[in-house]
Amino acid sequence: MKISQFESGKAGADGQAAARGKILPEEFRASLRREKYQGRPRTSREEAVDVAMKALEEVPDVREDLVADIKARLERGEYRVDPAEVGEMMLRRMRADRIR
């Protein structure tokens, strides 16, 4: 599959934007919204993405309920991890990453 110079430039720009977003997420997102919609109406897709982003911001970074459950099971000695299964999952993940 060939990727045009335009497409590769666009992909690079998207990657740079994502990197900037990780450094200054709130300021960056706000500036994107200001730049993106100035002078034109928003599309339904852009509105849907905004709704999804707002919903995502409300989801906690850590699932406290799961963490507490695993900690309690560890303390009671009830939490067991099969090393072979962990290794298999690591290999699957590595193969999947190569495919992308």
Q: Say how far apart CA 58 and CA 60 lie, in whole Å.
A: 6
pLDDT at residue 65, as a whole number: 92
Using a cut of 0.75, tell me whether the model's pTM lies above it: no
**Domain boundaries, given as residue ranges, for the chain:** 1-59, 63-100
The residue among 87, 67, 90, 69 whose CA lies nearest residue 78 is 69
Kindly report the average pLDDT of the chain as a whole number.
Answer: 77
pLDDT digits (tens, 9 = 90+) for 63-92: 899 999 999 999 999 998 899 999 999 999
Mean pLDDT to the nearest integer, 33-39 = 63
Decide if 54 contacts 33 (C-beta within 8 A): no
Tokens 């977003």, located at residue = 21
